Copies of this chain bind each other. A is one copy, B any other.
Amino acid sequence: MITGKNYIGNQLLATGNKTYKTFNPKLNIENEHTFFEASEEEIEKAVSLATEAFEVFKKVSGAKKGEFLNAIADEILNLDEILIEAYMSETGLPEGRAKGERGRTVGQLRTFADLVTEGSWVEATIDTSDLDRNPIPKQDIRKMLVPLGPVVVFGASNFPLAYSTAGGDTAAAFAAGCPVIVKSHPMHATTGELVASAISKAAQKTGMPEGVFSNLNSAGIEVGVQLVKHPKVKAVGFTGSIKGGRALFDLASQRPEPIPVFAEMGSVNPVVILPKATTLRGTEIAKTYAQSITLGAGQFCTNPGLILGIKGESLDDFIKVLSDEIVKIEPSCMLHPNIIGNYDKNKTNALQQNGLAVTAEFNNDIATNHARQTLTTVDGKTFLENKTLHEEVFGPFSMVVQCQDAKELETIINNLEGQLTGTIIAENEEIVKYNTVIEALQNRVGRIIFNGVPTGVEVCPAMLHGGPYPASTDSRFTAVGIHAIKRWVRPFSYQSWPNDLLPDELKNENPLGISRVIDSQHTYRKI
């Protein structure tokens, strides 16, 4: 069933000669299938098909796009155990996680299906004419969101389903009306090909134009570079490292026609634990955080890698409990030898910095490719002065910064880079007292959490997954939730356009019955 080939539209091609295999980190062996890296000619063909498909796909109704998205979800479920096994063999993650992530992926697809079937997401805005106005007659102007064109999506290493081939970026782009070319993540090419087959089937079953989707294999950077530089590609979605995301952003910004890159990148997700909460609930908080730090071997973009507290007995107690708890947890397998290699390298680099102390590290024997969770501490001054300590160590690693006082805590927050999330652990009364600390944290993050954990990113309309750079390349957009669709669209205005030639969304008779703003009034009415 697995061919190792590239989906160029509905065709499976392997005209190139570079090949690679994926790796089973749990068994520490290569997986069986050989994948053919997409050739220049295949890339060209995928983009060309996507460009042609765009002219058709952009006019496909919301209801039909909804059918397509639901069909993808159905076909993914039809892959059943084959998909779950491939996922597990390429990630070392357990079955529960595989099924959970599949559920999330299918759920996202259906959420976007509902959104476009209902149709009001296009923000239809109508200003009717007043041709008797003096001195200049007012023309009829109508605006709605329209798709940008072919989009390239880079699969994420840590979410082979939910943020890869048919993940959030792809679902949002299809919903918007953009053809998608996926640059498959090399660590899970089998999973990628299976999901690609599901999308291809769904596209054919629901009558989508060929080229609405392609899936390109690649273990190097060339395929991605060629795609991002291609003049017919109009936007890019990426989830991964700051280095990778920034490189794509730079490429895209330097094109003759710059294009938007939405890259969701690194984050240490600072957690501020305030003194009274630490005193009253330190043990409970420590237990919760031991779980959050090690969840999925810490391979989440919202993993709490930095805990900021104020020096004192209660913080010492918290650190002690957290240290005790964290080593009790059974280590997990990481996604790939390269990932654990980076984890060890980045951890070693951090530990070589003056003033960073290890307070807990899992020291018993562990299986190959499993990560030793590690808790470290450092004082505020040292942390503030050494930017190396601000860098993410992707994996089950966290650092407790012991600040001198609230002022130093605030200074540290003001010196952090942009983050996906910030968390405040506090008693209610502390919020007023530490008001400026909390304000500072809000400036640095995309989502702020009260007395919770940053892991667990709910797919809901109010979710903001993104944040000031380098959490993402454009803080004005989210990567999770229905508003992720806004990354792939632009507003478009029709002036004095004949009613029967307008898109349904803007016609007088409102045939889709969508919510619109007419002469500044929200309404579902006809004109």
Contacts and interface: CB of A to CB of B under 8 A. Distances in A.
A258 B469 contact: yes
Interface string A126-144: 1100000000101101110
Contacts of A476: 148, 260, 486, 489-491
A148 B475 contact: yes
A97 to B, nearest CB: 12
Interface in A134-172: 136, 138-139, 141-143, 146, 148-149
A456 B492 CA distance: 17
A498 B258 contact: no
A30 interface: no
Contact of A448 (B442, B475, B489, B494): B494
Contacts of A148: 475-476
B461 A127 contact: yes
A253 B258 contact: yes
B257 A249 contact: no
A496 interface: yes
Given A447-B492, A475-B148, A495-B450, A462 B260 contact: no
A61 interface: no
A489 B466 CA distance: 13
A495 B457 CA distance: 10
Contacts of A200: none
Contacts of A477: 491
A517 interface: yes
A300 to B, nearest CB: 14
Interface string A493-508: 1111110010000000
Interface in A238-295: 249-250, 253-254, 257-258, 260
A192 interface: no
A148 B418 CA distance: 12
Contacts of A16: none
A494 B447 CA distance: 6
A476 B258 CA distance: 13
A497 B460 CA distance: 16
Contact of A253 (B250, B446, B462, B498): B250
Given A258-B253, A431-B501, A450-B497, A143 B464 contact: yes
A352 interface: no
A520 interface: yes
A142 B462 contact: yes
B491 A478 contact: yes
Interface size on A, as a range, is 35 or more
B260 A447 contact: no
B431 A498 contact: yes
Contacts of A258: 249, 253, 469, 473
B517 A522 contact: no
A515 interface: yes
A277 to B, nearest CB: 13
A452 interface: yes
A253 B520 CA distance: 35
B498 A449 contact: no
A353 to B, nearest CB: 21
A117 interface: no
Contacts of A139: 449, 452, 456, 458
Contacts of A491: 446, 464, 466, 476-478, 483
A428 interface: yes
Contacts of A250: 253-254
A34 interface: no
A452 B136 CA distance: 13
A55 interface: yes
A55 B436 CA distance: 10
A285 to B, nearest CB: 14
A38 B330 CA distance: 62
Nearest to A506: B462
Which 7 pairs of residues, A with B, have the shortest CB-CB distance?
A253-B253, A464-B493, A447-B493, A143-B462, A141-B462, A449-B495, A127-B460
20 contacts: A55-B439, A125-B462, A127-B458, A127-B462, A139-B458, A141-B458, A143-B461, A143-B463, A143-B464, A148-B476, A149-B443, A249-B253, A249-B258, A260-B474, A431-B498, A431-B501, A447-B493, A448-B493, A466-B490, A476-B486
Given A143-B463, A143-B464, 11 more contacts: A127-B461, A249-B258, A258-B469, A442-B492, A452-B495, A461-B517, A464-B493, A468-B490, A475-B490, A476-B489, A515-B522
